Amino acid sequence: MPNRTFAIIKPDAVNSGYTGKIYDRILQADFKILSAKLMRMTLAQAEGFYLVHKERPFYGELTTFMSSGACMVLALEKENAVSAWRETIGATNPEDAAEGTIRKDFATSLGENAVHGSDTDENAEKEIAFFFTESELICNQ
Ligand code: IDP
Ligand code: MG
């Protein structure tokens, strides 16, 4: 049974005009897009979304960056969606990301690394619910 993951095309990538190219990578990797929206997070939303990183030294930098401009949030579906999407995006630091991954091709730094991907099925469901209502996940109906 396919399951779901949550993705963000981050402000650095949207601002650089990579939204369409990253959308293509999502489709090429056979993810079904259950929902997608362009939005700009408030600082409070970014702080809530990344609450798990609250104690990390980069929390302020990260939440300021994530609320600095437009991003695209997406709910994706595929067999083993969480690990499949993390493989598609590559390592957190683009310098360590494998050839052909989104972060290798579009990210500029450890902080501004083009895309987000959930790390577990449980977090994927929480993250999808943070930005989407069930009725917005239109392909799932
Ligand atoms: P992930 O996005 O690959 O799951 P996490 O460790 O969960 O990586 O970190 C969340 C996000 O925080 C990263 O994608 C990146 O944007 C940012 N980040 C992680 N480590 C650092 C750091 O050392 N400095 C600045 N930003 C960081
Ligand atoms: Mg993470």
Atom of ligand 1 nearest to the CA of 86: 3
- In CATH, the number for domain 3-133 is 3.30.70.141
pTM over 0.95: yes
β-partners of residue 122 are: none
**What is the separation of C-alpha 85 from the centre of its chain, rounded to a whole number of angstroms?**
9
pLDDT at 139 (0 to 100): 63
For the chain, domain boundaries: 3-133
Q: Which of 113, 118, 123 to mutate to test the pocket of ligand 1 (most atoms within 8 A of CB)?
A: 113
- For the stretch 83-116, what's the b/e string if a residue is b when 16 or more beta carbons lie within 10 angstroms of its beta carbon? ebbbebbbbeebeebeeebbbbbbbeeebbbbbb
Q: Which residues of the chain have pLDDT under 50?
A: none
pLDDT at 1 (0 to 100): 78
